[in-house]
């Protein structure tokens, strides 16, 4: 299988110890995952995103993991008007300012932006530090995503694109979806999206620094991811770019879906039918096969497919294939052959539990019409038995 990560370790040790039945560490000895003595509950102890970013940047330069397969044009623009109406209602009810036109500055509302914790085609993400005015010592941290215009992108399209992303992300309220607070201009006139800060970094960096995750560890993150996906789909939103880089973590192991730049509103609240979508977008290893072969398709199974690839990346530390195109990728061709073979597909067959293997095969069904749904995953015998950590249950 294609490698997800080279064998490079982080460099800061931890002296933390625990009397437990089992624990797992980063390659440098930092205890990241602890299972209680009864074997039923567990805890995550993740490193600060500020330290993880140094490792992440180094590895991404080597493997080019931040490249997008295809840039997608503006998505979900129909939500713009509803967001503006919502702001008008807020203004009428409580005098809340529209963040696109409010004179209040980014620094005044959310503090000064300092260190960079993420980079990508969209721009950069910084941490802003807001000093508590009551005591002048404590501070509140926010993640500030600074948008940048694409080459040859007009100001109108740029504004629609970032407003669309903000409309989608800010309309979602779930413990496994990042909480988006504001869209505001900085002192240079650049638009910034303000979000809650997840100090545990992203899942991609966690897998890089760990090699691969333990069964209970990966299962916990997977169930949190699936809960978030089911919620999004119930709200009529598809992400269309799910990958470990877009899954943020708190230091205690709560998982949050982020980056709705490719998000689509496939059904409005008053509608019953799903709007089909088209085009290829996202990162190649996570793109569903129907995106390459169908003129239009339901975006929900596309998200479900990506969760299966993410789960296998957590369990193996590798990508199953470079892209899900049987005529162009030998690894994907082997997967299709393995599905038909009595012996099965080896990487999935190596998963310990039959109920887990069956669900993963159903998630990674090449035919979207037969692919299992998020609700069916959560209601499966495997899904029901997965224990989520306390932080994952509360979202903190």
Domain coordinates in residue numbering, the chain: 32-69+201-394, 79-196
Confidence of residue 136 (pLDDT cuts 50, 70, 90): low
* Residues in CB range of 330: below 8 A, 6 or more apart: none
What fold characterizes domain 32-69+201-394?
Transferase(Phosphotransferase); domain 1 (1.10.510)
Determine whether 84 is exposed, middle or buried from the number of CB atoms within 10 Å of its CB (0-12, 13-18, 19+).
middle
* CA gap 314, 4 in Å, rounded: 10
Q: Identify whether the C-beta of residue 148 lies closer than 8 Å to the C-beta of residue 162.
A: no
| Residue at token pair 């995750």 | 213
What is the pLDDT at residue 102? Answer: 47
Quote the tokens at residue 330: 């030998």
> Active-site residue numbers?
241
Average pLDDT over residues 98-108: 64
| Residue at token pair 């299972």 | 35
Please say if the pLDDT value at position 14 is more than 90. no
For the chain, where are the E strands, in sequence order? 22-25, 31-35, 42-44, 112-120, 123-131, 139-147, 180-185, 191-196, 237-238, 247-249, 255-257, 264-265
The pLDDT tens digits for 233-265 are: 999 999 999 999 999 999 999 999 999 999 999
Q: Which of 181-195, 210-224, 298-312 has the lowest mean pLDDT?
A: 181-195
First to last CA, the chain: 35
Output the pTM of the full model: 0.81
- 3-state SS class at 373: coil
Residue 212 is given by DSSP the state S
What is the pLDDT at residue 37? Answer: 80
Quote the tokens at residue 382: 């495997």
Quote the tokens at residue 333: 């061709």
* CA gap 60, 73 in Å, rounded: 25
Confidence of residue 27 (pLDDT cuts 50, 70, 90): low
- 3-state SS class at 31: strand
- Per-chain mean pLDDT for the chain: 82
* Residues in CB range of 42: below 8 A, 6 or more apart: 33, 34, 35, 36, 216, 217, 220, 387, 389
In CATH, the architecture of 79-196 is: 2-Layer Sandwich (3.30)
What is the pLDDT at residue 17? Answer: 33
Confidence of residue 19 (pLDDT cuts 50, 70, 90): very low
What is the pLDDT at residue 26? Answer: 66
Average pLDDT over residues 32-44: 86
Average pLDDT over residues 329-340: 97
Q: Identify whether the C-beta of residue 303 lies closer than 8 Å to the C-beta of residue 238.
A: yes
What does each C-alpha distance from 141 to 53, 170, 227, 391 come to in angstroms? Answer: 17, 18, 26, 19
Please say if the pLDDT value at position 6 is more than 80. no
Please say if the pLDDT value at position 5 is more than 60. no
What is the pLDDT at residue 378? Answer: 98
Average pLDDT over residues 153-163: 88
* CA gap 380, 295 in Å, rounded: 31
What is the pLDDT at residue 70? Answer: 35
What is the pLDDT at residue 29? Answer: 67
What is the pLDDT at residue 200? Answer: 94
What is the pLDDT at residue 223? Answer: 98
What does each C-alpha distance from 349 to 49, 286, 320, 331, 338 come to in angstroms? Answer: 34, 20, 13, 15, 10
The pLDDT tens digits for 66-97 are: 344 333 333 332 233 333 444 444 445 444 44
* Residues in CB range of 158: below 8 A, 6 or more apart: 147, 149, 150
Average pLDDT over residues 155-174: 91
Contacts of range 84-88, beta carbons closer than 8 Å, 24 or more positions apart: none
Please say if the pLDDT value at position 39 is more than 50. yes
CA angle 217/177/155 to nearest 5° reads 135
Confidence of residue 50 (pLDDT cuts 50, 70, 90): low
Pairwise pLDDT comparison (190 vs 351), residue with the higher score = 351
């Amino acid at each position: 299988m294609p490698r997800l990560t080279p064998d490079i370790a982080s460099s800061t040790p931890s002296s933390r110890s625990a009397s437990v039945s089992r624990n797992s560490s980063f390659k440098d000895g930092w205890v990241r995952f602890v299972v209680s003595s009864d074997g039923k509950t567990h805890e995550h102890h993740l490193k600060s995103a500020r330290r993880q970013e140094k490792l992440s940047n180094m590895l991404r330069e080597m493997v080019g993991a931040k490249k997008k397969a295809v840039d997608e044009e503006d998505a979900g623009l129909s939500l713009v008007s509803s967001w503006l109406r919502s702001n008008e209602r807020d203004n009428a009810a409580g005098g809340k300012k529209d963040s696109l036109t409010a004179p209040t500055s980014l620094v005044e509302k959310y503090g000064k932006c300092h260190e960079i914790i993420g980079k990508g085609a969209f721009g950069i993400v910084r941490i802003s530090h807001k000093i508590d005015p009551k005591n002048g010592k404590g501070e509140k941290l926010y993640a500030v995503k600074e948008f940048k215009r694409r080459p040859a992108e007009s100001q109108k399209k740029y504004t629609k694109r970032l407003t669309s992303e903000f409309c989608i992300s800010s309309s979602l309220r779930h413990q496994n979806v990042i909480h988006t607070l504001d869209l505001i201009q900085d002192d240079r006139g650049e638009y910034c999206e303000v979000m809650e800060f997840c100090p545990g970094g992203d899942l991609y960096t966690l897998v890089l620094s760990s090699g691969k995750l333990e069964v209970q560890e990966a299962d916990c993150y997977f169930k949190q991811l699936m809960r978030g996906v089911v919620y999004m789909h119930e709200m009529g939103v598809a992400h269309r770019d799910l990958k470990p880089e877009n899954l943020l973590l708190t230091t205690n192991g709560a998982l949050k879906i982020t980056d709705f730049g490719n998000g689509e509103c496939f059904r409005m609240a008053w509608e019953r039918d799903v709007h089909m979508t088209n085009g290829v977008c996202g990162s190649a290893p996570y793109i569903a096969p129907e995106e390459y072969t169908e003129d239009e398709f339901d975006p929900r199974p596309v998200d479900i497919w990506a969760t299966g690839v993410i789960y296998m990346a957590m369990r193996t530390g590798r990508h199953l294939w470079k892209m899900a195109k049987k005529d162009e990728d030998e690894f994907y061709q082997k997967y299709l052959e393995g599905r038909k073979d009595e012996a099965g597909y080896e990487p999935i067959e190596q998963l310990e539990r039959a109920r887990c293997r069956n669900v993963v095969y159903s998630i990674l069904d090449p035919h979207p019409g037969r692919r299992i749904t998020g609700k069916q995953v959560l209601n499966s015998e495997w899904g029901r038995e997965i224990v989520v950590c306390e932080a994952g249950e509360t979202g903190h």
